[in-house]
A and B are shown apart, each in its own frame.
Chain A
Amino acid sequence: MSAAQRAEHDEATYDVIVIGGGGAGLRAAIEATAQGAKTAIVCKSLFGKAHTVMAEGGMAAALRNVWPEDGWDVHFRDTMRGGKLLNNWRMAQIHAQESPDRVLELEEWGAMFDRTPEGLILQRDFGGHRYARLAHVGDRTGLELIRTLQYRAVELGIDVLMECNVQRLLLDDGHVAGAFGYWRQTGRFILLRAKAIVLATGGAGRSWRVTTNSWESTGDGLRLALEAGADLMDMEFVQFHPTGMVWPLSVRGLLVTEGVRGDGGTLKNKNGERFMFNYIPEFFKAETADSEAEADRWYQDKKNNRRTPDLLPRDEVARAINSEVKAGRGTPHGGVWLDIASRRSADYIKRRLPSMYVQFKELADVDITKEAFEIGPTCHYFMGGIRVEADSAATTVRGLFAAGECAAGLHGANRLGGNSLSDLVVFGRRAGLHAAQFAAAQRAPGAVDPSDLDAAAARMLAPLERQDGEDPYAIQSDLQDTMQDLVGLIRTQSELDEALVRVRSYRDRLSRVSARGDAKYNPAWNLSLDLDSMLTVSEVCTRAASMRTESRGGHTRDDFPTADPEWAKVNVVVRRKDGELSLQTEPLPQMPADLKEIATGEGKATAAAAPQTT
């Protein structure tokens, strides 16, 4: 970009900039504003449309409205066990302790959760949670969460820069000085100067063919953080949700909420067998029902019965479905059956799962109140992400914070359903708080180096200037096939090696990409730039997956099928040094003895949580 062009870009200055308008970004911005920081939210899509809007089932918090036996310690234990103890224990503790307050605060700001007969917030069952714990609004909890926070942000007068895409973070002597990006509607560049930045850019599932994620989930925040010098962690752990739609092709991957199973639905193979009873792992045997009768009784009486295996953590269920299909017991389109029709009344289903009812009716011509439907695993959630300090959400770069799905640690090797929405508000708030405090201690935003802007602008303009280059849609499509086929639910060394070769070849193609047309609302250009993030995430995920030679949670190796106690002690950490990625293992933070006792199943809390067999 010439000096003249550079002079033309828009410019704005804030104390705190939050990149991301999902639950995490909104909550961060609300808190930063409450702390007195001049704050802006930047998001790629329209305000109120972020991926969070799609969340269905609910948000986990030990409110104890339905089960007084519940408590933060039980929630902590469930989260740690779901994550195969690889979680950052301190994050899991904070999350379990603070989530009830964050839910009540949403109610204060206007959220209308479903109610118990006593008029309190109703809680529903979800996989891996000992008690019915998820505050919810039918099956559209994410919509309620985002609207509530969106209108709270409006009330506080927070600036929202929407359809604005951040492409680079700017540093001054190693600490954050701002961000550079473009407006999608005009293609104009914008320079944002800030004392602190919160990354809340969400997940990265878009690199897989079959996914629940929207186009936004390209992992931009992960790339931005890595380039700025921050660490990524746990990038090998990708959650494949067991129940995505499989037919028709047009909706393949679309989420079917776990709430279907939470509310009584059950998985069956083509022979009508409830196969999950054959897949109960040793680790969960003591707390899982081993007969259909006990599993069915559990919905009503949790004290005297153990949980149905249909609600084992997601990694277990996804692998079981995969095995059934491989063994030839799948449905016509390569999934298994999910049946709630034969188990609950049509009225109940329509009331509890209204969006699911409509989704199947309109998009698949299936009436879920009358028949079972086909489902199969779909790429859903990134446990890994930006490494943060547990209490403050600070990254290793000064002035840079991260929260929500783009941050790592809370969920360990596998996330429990409902623990993301609560994560967003618990750590979104903390990120906003600490970013505001950090900003208050700075006199002015750092200096911006004009040569950084030149470099960023040149990189962004290149796809528009190039004629007859590679087609961005074709690169995306090839990448999605590669990640789906070779870095999916089940992995093996030779396939991971092949994936890495291919991903690098796409990188090469991306350097020759050309987007036809100009910069104004041009999806081909937007995709060309997003592909940079998608390829970075894919490479990092593939390399981390090759490194971890064991199976744990959302990372399953065909060639190393069991968990390895040595790998239980370390995270895989990724950083960029001199332009090159480096991966290494680092020891997990040590869990204090009292919490360890809770997490591993003895101790006070677990006495309450222990399955009681009669």
Chain B
Amino acid sequence: MTETTEQVRRDATVRVFRGEDRTSGQFVEYTVPVDPGMVVLDVMFRVQQMRAPDLAVRWNCKAGKCGSCSAEINGRPKLMCMTRLSSLPPAEPITVAPMATFPLVRDLVTDVSFNYEKAKTIPAVRLAPPGPDGKRRMFQEEVDRVQEFHKCIECFLCQNVCHVIRDHEENKEAYAGPRFFVKLAALEMHPLDTRDRIEMIRAREGLGYCNITKCCTEVCPESIKITDNAIIPLKERVVSEFYDPLAWVKRRIFGGPDDGAKEPAAVADR
């Protein structure tokens, strides 16, 4: 089936957003020849080589591994380097627009520095000391769920679709967004980590704003189950640790499950 679509498609017409701000910029149509197997990013290269040498596109690996080439293709948030032409309807032009949530730099490139600022608010891992032989022991079963979160390529597509950020600029201050809930979940579920971030997840990273629409999970190119595996378990921890007075008192007096090793991460921690 893909074979036939590809044989039919000798050239592709793309409508690419061009400009330096969202109001004055506009979609420009280009038609370029294409080869079998091409992805949308290949078409952008063709446009650069044949029609618009200064078309701004951010990319790096062209293999779905670096998370640089996020864009909205036919209105859907995707990686340009992993979107095959054969997966798009052949009869219609392909629309390529920059991510909507972040400030525009130029053409398809946005300013994603919001995410890098959020990253700075998260207290790093702090492990319990290694065994007497200098090595640490963790078992594959406990590592599996954290490894799922570590697959994140920081494409920020989830941040882009999350309505809490997309529709409410004012939330940005107090809301980390799905990418960083994934990061926080990875830290919280690390079998040897000693820090307690629950209070700051609630108070400062704004987990409560998320109303589990699952839009983030739908767009994740790494198929991380952001809502089911990261956000919901974090919400449960917040509820049980923060709103359950008994658990709270117990935690304060007797320490966490690992015998007081859990050190609360200060909200003001950088």
Q: Per-residue CB proximity of A440-478 to B under 8 Å, as 1/0?
A: 000000000000000000000000000000011110010
Q: Chain B's nearest CB lies how many Å from the CB of A477? A: 8
B140 contacts chain A at the CB level, 8 A cutoff: yes
Q: Chain B's nearest CB lies how many Å from the CB of A247? A: 7
Chain B residue, CB-CB nearest to A142: B65
Q: Per-residue CB proximity of B45-86 to A under 8 Å, as 1/0?
A: 000110001111111111111111000000000000010100
Residues on B with beta carbons closer than 8 Å to the beta carbon of A34: none
Chain B residue, CB-CB nearest to A477: B49
Q: CB distance A104 to B37 under 8 Å?
A: no
Residues on B with beta carbons closer than 8 Å to the beta carbon of A215: 59-60
A-facing residues in B1-58 (Cβ within 8 Å): 2, 20, 35-39, 42, 48-49, 53-58
A53 contacts chain B at the CB level, 8 A cutoff: yes
Residues on B with beta carbons closer than 8 Å to the beta carbon of A472: 53
Q: Which of B101-109, B210-218, B237-245, B252-260 contacts A (4 or more CB under 8 A)?
A: B101-109
A493 contacts chain B at the CB level, 8 A cutoff: no
B-facing residues in A109-164 (Cβ within 8 Å): 109-110, 112, 114-115, 117-121, 137-138, 140, 142-144, 147, 151-152, 154-155, 157, 160, 162
Residues on A with beta carbons closer than 8 Å to the beta carbon of B57: 523
Q: Per-residue CB proximity of B77-119 to A under 8 Å, as 1/0?
A: 0000010100000000000000000000111010110001001
Q: CB distance A140 to B65 under 8 Å?
A: yes
Q: CB distance B56 to A521 under 8 Å?
A: yes
- Given A250-B35, A523-B57, do A115 and B139 touch, yes or no (CB 8 Å)? yes
Residues on B with beta carbons closer than 8 Å to the beta carbon of A365: 2
Q: CB distance A214 to B124 under 8 Å?
A: no
Q: Chain B's nearest CB lies how many Å from the CB of A120? A: 6
B168 contacts chain A at the CB level, 8 A cutoff: no
Q: Chain B's nearest CB lies how many Å from the CB of A357? A: 12
B143 contacts chain A at the CB level, 8 A cutoff: yes
Q: CB distance B55 to A523 under 8 Å?
A: yes
- Given A49-B66, A254-B63, do A140 and B151 touch, yes or no (CB 8 Å)? yes
A524 contacts chain B at the CB level, 8 A cutoff: yes
- Bound-complex Cα distance A291 to B168 (A): 66
- For this complex, into which size category does the number of interface residues on chain B fall? 35 or more
Interface of B is mostly: loop
A185 contacts chain B at the CB level, 8 A cutoff: yes
A490 contacts chain B at the CB level, 8 A cutoff: no
B202 contacts chain A at the CB level, 8 A cutoff: no
Q: CB distance B36 to A523 under 8 Å?
A: no
- Bound-complex Cα distance A157 to B120 (A): 8
Q: Chain B's nearest CB lies how many Å from the CB of A471? A: 7
Q: Chain A's nearest CB lies how many Å from the CB of B74? A: 17
Q: Chain A's nearest CB lies how many Å from the CB of B71? A: 14
Q: Which of B129-137, B159-167, B225-233 contacts A (4 or more CB under 8 A)?
A: B129-137
Residues on B with beta carbons closer than 8 Å to the beta carbon of A522: 54, 56
Q: CB distance A185 to B105 under 8 Å?
A: yes
Tell me which of A121, A142, A151, A250 has the highest count of chain B C-beta atoms within 10 A of its own C-beta. A250
- Bound-complex Cα distance A248 to B38 (A): 8
A45 contacts chain B at the CB level, 8 A cutoff: yes
Q: Per-residue CB proximity of A33-63 to B under 8 Å, as 1/0?
A: 0000000000001111111011000000000
Q: Chain A's nearest CB lies how many Å from the CB of B13? A: 18
Tell me which of B2, B49, B63, B124 has the highest count of chain A C-beta atoms within 10 A of its own C-beta. B63
Q: Which of A7-15, A512-520, A532-540, A551-559 contacts B (4 or more CB under 8 A)?
A: A512-520
- Bound-complex Cα distance A427 to B127 (A): 25
Chain A residue, CB-CB nearest to B50: A473
A396 contacts chain B at the CB level, 8 A cutoff: no
Q: Per-residue CB proximity of A519-531 to B under 8 Å, as 1/0?
A: 0111111000000
A363 contacts chain B at the CB level, 8 A cutoff: yes
Tell me which of A45, A117, A143 has the highest count of chain B C-beta atoms within 10 A of its own C-beta. A143
- Bound-complex Cα distance A63 to B34 (A): 49
A216 contacts chain B at the CB level, 8 A cutoff: yes
A251 contacts chain B at the CB level, 8 A cutoff: yes
- Bound-complex Cα distance A51 to B49 (A): 23
- Bound-complex Cα distance A223 to B78 (A): 36
Q: CB distance B109 to A521 under 8 Å?
A: yes
Q: Chain A's nearest CB lies how many Å from the CB of B217? A: 17
Residues on A with beta carbons closer than 8 Å to the beta carbon of B35: 248-250
- Given A140-B151, A155-B124, do A521 and B106 touch, yes or no (CB 8 Å)? yes
Residues on A with beta carbons closer than 8 Å to the beta carbon of B55: 523
Q: CB distance A104 to B36 under 8 Å?
A: no
Q: CB distance B48 to A107 under 8 Å?
A: no
- Given A49-B68, A120-B137, A249-B35, do A54 and B63 touch, yes or no (CB 8 Å)? yes
Residue from the list A155, A359, A524 in contact with B63, Cβ < 8 A: A359
Residue from the list B53, B109, B151, B190 in contact with A517, Cβ < 8 A: B53
Residue from the list A137, A152, A157, A185 in contact with B270, Cβ < 8 A: A157
- Bound-complex Cα distance A138 to B20 (A): 41
Known contacts A104-B130, A110-B190, A147-B150; 20 additional CB pairs below 8 A are: A45-B68, A46-B68, A49-B60, A51-B60, A53-B153, A107-B136, A110-B125, A112-B143, A115-B138, A120-B135, A137-B150, A214-B66, A248-B35, A250-B35, A474-B49, A517-B53, A521-B107, A522-B54, A523-B53, A523-B56
Give chain B's interface residues, CB within 8 Å of chain A. Answer: 2, 20, 35-39, 42, 48-49, 53-68, 82, 84, 105-107, 109, 111-112, 116, 119-120, 124-125, 127, 130, 134-140, 143, 146-147, 150-154, 187, 190, 270
Q: What are some 20 contacts across the A-B interface (CB < 8 A)?
A: A45-B60, A51-B61, A53-B60, A53-B66, A114-B143, A117-B140, A143-B151, A147-B150, A154-B119, A154-B120, A154-B124, A248-B36, A250-B38, A365-B2, A520-B20, A521-B56, A521-B106, A521-B109, A523-B54, A525-B54
